[in-house]
């Protein structure tokens, strides 16, 4: 390393022009390698009651995380089968994940029939453990939909049983319809630059009346953007007791 240190005056004086030209790109390459090593790659799991929930609540943040080189999995509690078939819902989620460069995963429960008991706490924990995330983002637990409350509860129990080994954040989705009483956020992510990508991921769930739900969520993004002094933002609450090894603001920058 020493022979490329331009600030070493003794050696600098001895360098001829050829040595100097050789030294500059090597120094730049060394600096790039150091920066790449310092920028850690994180694993983030975003859990949702149904296909579409993570995309609507945190689609902009997911896009920013994946474009920063992090690995993001969208873990859905069920396949969303109801009036629309599982086949269609799974295909829509696959498309949404492709847009956001995330990976879909299912906890294999039934839409509208969420079960929270010891067996399901354990099976859900196994899924989280296998993913080994640095952070998990889930529903705010006070919500009008029982499937949303269920996955928030299952996620919190995994976090507790796994001794707080990952950072836990809460998102808001379709406020008023679903999330209620979401208090003061601790983190804001500016999604202005990726708002179109988020919209495409939400509209990939074409069977789920995006013309109704997307404007509702977009109003929330505009309100959070106003609070965060930008055009569009997503807001999160960090669970107290989370480790300080992951920070959503750092990971999305
Ligand atoms: Zn839902």
Around ion ligand 1, residues with a beta carbon closer than 5 Å are 49-50, 53
- Please, which residues have CB within 8 angstroms of residue 51's CB and are 6 or more apart in sequence? 76, 79, 80, 89, 90, 92, 93, 96, 104, 205
Mode of pairing for the β-strands spanning 103-109 and 187-190 = unpaired
What is the whole-number distance in angstroms between the Cα of residue 68 and the centre of ligand 1?
27
Tell me: the pLDDT tens digits for 79-132?
Answer: 999 999 999 999 999 999 999 999 999 999 999 999 999 999 999 999 999 999
What is the whole-number distance in angstroms between the Cα of residue 101 and the centre of ligand 1?
21
What is the whole-number distance in angstroms between the Cα of residue 146 and the centre of ligand 1?
9
What is the whole-number distance in angstroms between the Cα of residue 84 and the centre of ligand 1?
14
Maximum distance among all alpha carbons in the chain? 78
- The pair of structure tokens assigned to 198 is 């988020």
Enumerate helices (H) and strands (E) in the chain, giving the number of each.
9, 7
- Please, which residues have CB within 8 angstroms of residue 181's CB and are 6 or more apart in sequence? 142
Give pTM, 2 decimals: 0.85
**Burial class of residue 165, CB neighbours in 10 A (0-12, 13-18, 19+):** middle
- Output the CA torsion sign for 128, 133, 134, 135: negative
Tell me: the pLDDT tens digits for 133-167?
Answer: 999 999 999 999 999 999 999 999 999 999 999 99
């Amino acid at each position: 390393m020493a022979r490329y240190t331009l600030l070493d005056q003794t050696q600098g004086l001895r360098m001829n022009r050829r040595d100097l030209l050789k030294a500059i790109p090597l120094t730049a390459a060394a600096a790039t390698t150091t920066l790449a090593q310092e920028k850690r790659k994180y694993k983030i799991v975003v859990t949702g009651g149904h296909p579409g929930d993570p995309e609507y609540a945190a689609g902009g943040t997911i896009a920013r995380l994946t474009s920063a080189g992090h690995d993001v999995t969208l873990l859905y509690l069920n396949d969303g089968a109801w009036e629309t078939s599982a086949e269609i819902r799974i295909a829509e989620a696959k498309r949404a994940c492709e847009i956001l460069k995330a990976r879909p995963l299912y906890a294999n429960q039934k839409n509208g029939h969420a079960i929270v008991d010891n067996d399901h706490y354990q099976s859900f924990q196994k899924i989280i453990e296998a993913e080994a995330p640095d952070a998990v983002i889930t529903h705010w637990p006070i919500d009008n939909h029982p499937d949303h409350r269920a996955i928030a509860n299952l996620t919190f129990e995994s976090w507790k049983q796994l001794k707080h080994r990952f950072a836990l954040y809460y998102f808001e989705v379709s406020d008023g319809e679903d999330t209620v009483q979401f208090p003061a956020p601790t983190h804001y992510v500016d999604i202005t630059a990726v708002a179109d990508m988020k919209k495409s991921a939400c509209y990939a769930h074409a069977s789920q009346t995006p013309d109704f739900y997307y404007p509702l969520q977009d109003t929330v993004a505009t309100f959070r953007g106003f609070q965060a002094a930008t055009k569009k933002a997503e807001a999160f609450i960090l669970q107290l007791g989370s480790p300080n090894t992951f920070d959503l603001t750092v990971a999305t920058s």
